Amino acid sequence: MSTSDERIAVFQDTMNWIDSDPDLSASISAAKKNTTVFYEDDYPAFNASDTKDMLITVSGDRSYQAAMRLYKESPGSKIAVMNFANAFHAGGGVTKGSSAQEESLCRTSTLYPLLYRRTLRDTFYKHHHDLNTPKATDSLIYTEGVIICKTDEDLPKRMPKEDWITVDVITIAAPDLRDKSNKHAPLVNGGTYMNNAELFGYHVKRAMHMLTCAAAKGADILVLGAFGCGAFQNDPEVVARAYKTVLQEFPKVFKQVEFAIYRPASGSKNYDVFRRILDTHNMEEVSKEVVPEKRKAPSSKIELLHASCADQTVDAVVNAANDGLWAGGGICGVIFKKAGMRELTEACEKYDTPLKDGDAVITPAFKMKNAKAIIHAVGPNFGVTPTAFEELFRAYYNSLLVLKDNGYHSISFPLISSSIFGGNLENPVAESTKQCVRAYKRFAEDFPDYEIDVKLCAFGSSEMEKAKKQFDEQIKSPSDETKISEKDLSIIFERKPTQWGLRGDPYLWEEMKDHCVGESLDIDDYGIAAFVGEYFEKATGKALSFDTDVYVERFAHGGMSSGSVSGSFWLSKGIPFLIENLRRAKAGYPVITLCGSTRFKDAFIEAQKRLTLEGNIVISVGLFGHSGDEEVWDGMDEGTFSKTKKMLDDMHRRKIDMADEIYVINVGGYIGESTRYEIEYAKMHDKRVRYLEEQ
């Protein structure tokens, strides 16, 4: 692994070479003239070709590595490479030796001087500074004529001129979802939380814009990647699914789209996810696969054992690992001891740690005679992250992916995150069992022809009793997640957006709702996206896309834009909104968050009781600053008070995120400044707002 000083030296050598080599210098002048900024609303026209059948591939190469290989495989093709950009600074941290994708491109080619100049500073980068949000925008820089003059590796080396190639580069930024935003931008929504439905909408729209611009520039081959799935912490499942959706809009436009996702010897979760979702032969296959067929591999099985997972004769034993992959206590210590402390420690040290919650990596089993390999799965600590259910699911699911990727079929699991990592969960054993079975069912659907034999092991008698109750209930359940009450799919259309695209969209919404009466709720996020796309085309006669605005006579009821429906609305707003509604419907009871001045403590308590008895899950304030809990605030210094208040305000926004609606305690009509902000925040996120006293 190189150091930042070594990377800085390589970058300085690249800049010096560009200045001193006449061919490289001349290319800069030409490429500057062939650079275009496309803002988020710029959708240039392009032409499709009947001769292009798009091939979609996923490789473990770096971006420029893939471009150079594709150049040799398809001479004469115009290749465009995606640059995962910093929205505020040209080249990101390349001058400081950072190691992300954009910095690698700048060390390897003539890209940096084409981005670091006044023209772009005053347009693209100023645009993002002015908006000042880590979500960034769909705006991009399209640069033609970038020369790759060095090898694409950790420390790039100069290549002879006969090996240089010229590519286009698309500079575009992903939403930054880190817990701490960079110093140039505030946190997203007051904190970087963004649910998957919202993130899916962002990536669909951003991908649509980027591919449209690339098509308009005549690109034949695109080199993309796991956009935003590294330091910016975008979920690769969501991003890959978004690109799968968008690529269906461009079936005859590009010859090949390759997702180059660097895969070191230790493996890559992003690579595994993108390969599973996107590595298809052509666009026709992608179209057919929008809604996966739900069937279970007939020979796969899962069983619950009262035993230690370390003693099972299987291809792979799972270690409930910590994020540093060091020897710990419990089952982790047992596995290290059986495999050989020195050998297993050395193997684990080859991975770049700390790993993230939900990650899974593999090592040999060494001295463990009953297994061929050990898969180390990092479970979440519910004491630190009380709602980390999805991370627990991924710890199990990613372990199964690693099992498959290494050609193994049998696996034994401990109950991950069921002991000290269970935090304050009422029944961490049951939760761990639930997520293991859920992961098994999902894997069996995603890979119906791959046989697996899963042994979930409960070591203690008490563990076994709790796990068996959950296991038996879930195995008998007809649904992947939990049993769904007798509701039909039309329920996801009950909660409606507060803003529509065009006047015909509400009528199309109601028509879809009527169509879904009696249909099962047993459908996933991507099934919803597929349904909307199919119904939109059936209702309008046009394929769903961002630039589709179409008039439908039966939706015309007078007024401007009457009868017109907006493809952009359905892709960026409608589908993510329905996905969120689906998840709420599956959860069961409506969730209501109480807002208002804490001086009205009695009114809060009364409303909480009444709404609960009406069949709602009620989320209230944790502390009453104006009418109680004086012992918390008395004696608190100003700095601690300010920090605590900021934390509580952010927590209340998260409570609003979790709710279907907010209920405002406005005794005597009083609404304070903080409550007004919460109401606006709720409306901005399409939450219904009700009041104790009518406004």
| Residues linked to residue 549 through DSSP beta bridges, in sequence order | 566
In this structure, what token pair is assigned to residue 565?
């429906």
Q: Which residues of 539-573 are buried (b: 16+ CB within 10 A; e: fewer)?
A: bbeeebbbebbbebeebeeeeebebbbbbbbbbbb
pLDDT per position as a tens digit, 338-356: 999 999 999 999 998 999 8
The three-state (H, E, C) secondary structure of 240-285, written as one string: HHHHHHHHCCCCCCCCEEEEECCCCCCCCHHHHHHHHHHCCCCHHH
pLDDT per position as a tens digit, 34-75: 999 999 888 888 877 655 678 999 999 999 999 999 999 999
Q: Is 30 exposed, middle or buried (0-12, 13-18, 19+ CB in 10 A)?
A: exposed
Which is higher by pLDDT, 259 or 176? 259
Q: Which of 479, 56, 482, 567 is nearest to 289 (CA)?
A: 56
Q: Cα separation of 44 and 135, whole Å?
A: 23
Residue 624 is predicted with a pLDDT of 74
Residue 222 is predicted with a pLDDT of 97
What is the length of the chain?
A: 695
Q: Computed over its alpha carbons, how large is the radius of gyration of the chain?
A: 27
Q: Cα separation of 504 and 502, whole Å?
A: 6
Residue 414 is predicted with a pLDDT of 97
- Continuous H helices in 453-556: 461-476, 505-515, 525-540
In this structure, what token pair is assigned to residue 624?
């009453």
Residue 291 is predicted with a pLDDT of 32
Q: 575-587 and 525-540 helices cross at what angle (nearest 10)? A: 130
Residue 521 is predicted with a pLDDT of 78
Strands 564-566 and 591-596: unpaired
pLDDT per position as a tens digit, 422-439: 877 788 999 999 999 988
Cα angle, residue 207 at apex, residues 205 and 213 outer, rounded to 5°: 105
pLDDT mean over 212-240? 92
User: pLDDT at residue 688 above 90?
Assistant: no
In this structure, what token pair is assigned to residue 220?
């034949």
- The secondary structure element, H or E, covering residue 166 is strand 165-172
Which is higher by pLDDT, 300 or 589? 300
At 615, is the pLDDT very low, low, confident or very high (cuts 50, 70, 90)?
Answer: confident
Q: Cα separation of 619 and 608, whole Å?
A: 8
User: pLDDT at residue 142 above 80?
Assistant: yes
pLDDT per position as a tens digit, 673-682: 888 888 877 7
pLDDT per position as a tens digit, 491-542: 888 878 877 888 889 889 988 988 888 787 778 777 788 889 889 988 898 8
Average pLDDT, the chain: 84
User: pLDDT at residue 293 above 70?
Assistant: no
Q: Cα separation of 483 and 522, whole Å?
A: 10
At 231, is the pLDDT very low, low, confident or very high (cuts 50, 70, 90)?
Answer: confident
User: pLDDT at residue 394 above 80?
Assistant: yes
Residue 284 is predicted with a pLDDT of 36
User: pLDDT at residue 83 above 90?
Assistant: yes
Residue 663 is predicted with a pLDDT of 92
Write phi, then psi, for 169 (nearest 5 degrees).
-130, 130
At 1, is the pLDDT very low, low, confident or very high (cuts 50, 70, 90)?
Answer: low
Q: Cα separation of 432 and 428, whole Å?
A: 6
User: With pLDDT > 90 as the criterion, what percentage of the chain qualifies?
Assistant: 46
Residue found by looking up tokens 């690339």 in the block? 214
At 480, is the pLDDT very low, low, confident or very high (cuts 50, 70, 90)?
Answer: very low
- How many other CB atoms are there within 10 angstroms of residue 509's CB atom? 19
